[in-house]
Structure 1
Amino acid sequence: MARLTRVESQAQTRQKLLDAARDMFSRDGYAATSIDRIADAAGFSKGAVYSNFAGKEAIFLEVLEALGQASLDPLLEAIDTASGADAVVELLVAWADDRSQSGNWSLTILEHARTADLDTQSLERQREILRSHWRQLGEKLVGKFAGVSAEPETLGALMHELAYAPAMTFVSRPRAGDLVRLSLKAILA
């Protein structure tokens, strides 16, 4: 087996750190996840974390962006091929139900926002990531829902907020998809 180049080795280390951080943030939340714990879970030293990331906030934001995009991309592709508005609504219902079962992630996002200084670059970056995801979904939906006059970012934010609402992670009824269906029925009427 060929030996990894330095660049390949660093990319592999970075990915292992991101994977460990994703699991820890998802399971334990923002405050309970530390650089030491991420490094230990990935099998590296704390120095390996700092040689790849500026700190805990940087690794959190990269995980946030990657997880959100990984959830959004298949949905956007499915919306592209959906046969009409009703099919798009059902895709969103299924997506919301799935997202609502994604564990503590919505609480972790709130925890980061609550613990970050209000005027930090980290909090601004979190806002940018979330708004980007909202816009991507909203633009796709406005293109599929003829006659909808909602701002794309607002429509996307509504869908995300219903899907990721913290209460939806621990109640069985109503489901997040029920809320999405109800809101879209009103919007499309």
Structure 2
Amino acid sequence: MALTREKLVISALNTFLQEGYSGATIEGISENAGFSRGAFYAHFASKEDIFLEIVASEADKITPMLIERIEAASSPSEMIGIVSGWAEERSQTQSLAILMFEAMQQAQRNGTLDERYRQLFRQSWHSVGEAMRPFFPDQRLPCAPEEVVAIIVALSYSPIVSGAGGHKAGRLVELMLKALAQQP
């Protein structure tokens, strides 16, 4: 059972990347994995459910790694370098971010955007923001931890920032964190 689920998730990711969120179908995901629609529905209730699992899996990999890097920093400037480097790395991999944007837009239009997406991001972003807290003056963030990270994510994943705007996401994150952490 776990192997079937894993194959469906891999197939879904590949299908989403090839077809886009809107173009991907449960039939296509199932067929690409070598299974029937029934096998899909034995593991997932909908296309949204499997997409949420992909996003959650990615967050489960990225969040602890980023927190570990931040916690290993010995100064505010080192933390800023780590986070801005992460932002620059993320800005180079836009495909999943674009899929998430497309999926959320469609879910909002269809009225199917559920609290699970918001909760996933809120928890991950809060954890990363809390890891950054010790590097701010008096360990005080200027806003909620998840808001600081939301700004970082917005700068990191925005194709307009990194593409059309011609600005490096890592540099913008560095400038923003220096200002918020009152660093020269």
* TM-score, normalisation: structure 1: 0.85
Q: What is the deviation of 1:172?
A: 8.2
Divergent runs of 4+, >6 A:
none
Q: Which residue number corresponds to residue 148 of structure 2?
A: 155
1:135–1:153 Cα contact (<8 Å) kept: yes
Gap regions ≥5 residues in structure 2: none
Q: Deviation digits for residues 26-55 of structure 1, max 9, x if unmatched?
A: 443211111112112222222111110001
Contact 2:128 2:145 (8 Å CA) reproduced: yes
Is 1:114 the counterpart of 2:105? The answer is: yes
| C-alpha contact 2:129 2:149 (8 A) present in aligned 1 | yes
Structure 1 position 174 matched with structure 2 position 149: no
Q: 1:50-89 to 2 correspondence within 5 Å?
A: 50-89=41-80
The percent identity for this pair of structures is 33
CA 134–15 in structure 1, closer or farther in 2 if over 3 Å, else same: same
Preserved CA contact (<8 Å) 2:162 2:168: no
Q: d(CA) in 2 for partners of 1:182 and 1:163? A: 13
Unaligned runs of 5+ in 1: 1-9
Partner residue in 2 for 1:45: 36
More helix by share: 2
Task: Please say which of residues 134-143 and 145-154 is displaced more in the overlay.
Answer: 145-154
Structure 1 position 137 matched with structure 2 position 93: no
- Whether the 8 Å CA contact 1:29–1:105 is kept in 2: the answer is no
SS of the equivalent of 1:31 reads: helix
User: Which whole-Å CA distance do the structure 2 matches of 1:171 and 1:69 have between them?
Assistant: 30
How many angstroms does 1:101 deviate by?
1.7
CA contact (8 A) 2:135 2:181 kept: no
Q: 1:177 is aligned with what amino acid?
A: G
Q: Distance in 1 between matches of 2:74 and 2:20?
A: 39
Normalised to the residue count of structure 2, the TM-score between the two structures is 0.87
2:20–2:99 CA contact under 8 A, matched in 1? yes
Whether the aligned pair in 2 keeps the contact of 1:138 and 1:157 (CA below 8 Å) is no
Q: How many residues align?
A: 180
The Cα RMSD (Å) is 2.1
Label 1:53 to 1:59 Cα distance change in 2 as closer, same or farther (>3 A). same
Deviations 1:138-170 (A, max 9, x none): 111113333343221111211111112232464
